[in-house]
Amino acid sequence: MKAPAEYLAPHVFEARRPRRELQPVVPYAAALHALEQALADAEKYKYLLMRALRRHADDAAPRPAAPASPEATVLPMYPANAAPRLAA
């Protein structure tokens, strides 16, 4: 992940404010471009983080125990002694 200063290209020139030292100046277009890059990287990192969290949650979730026999999970729709009657 980049540091905030890494998104900005080196400053173009230095300006002196009244009674102050020289200060670096970055053009508006360069600052806007740096902001757009930072937002794009944030979306990428957000996607990767959410994917990792989902994978971790899936791995950490308790798995249901397998039934002893396949028939144990199948329940009949109708009881054996009460078969459905069809109207003639």
- The model's pLDDT over 31-88, given as tens digits with 9 standing for 90+, comes to 888 889 888 888 888 888 888 888 888 777 776 666 666 656 666 666 666 655 665 5
Scan for tokens 């080196």, then name that residue: 10
At residue 29, the pLDDT reads 85
At residue 13, the pLDDT reads 73
The Cα angle at residue 84 between residues 81 and 86, in degrees rounded to 5: 140
Scan for tokens 């959410």, then name that residue: 50
Whether 30 contacts 5, CB under 8 Å:
no
At residue 59, the pLDDT reads 78
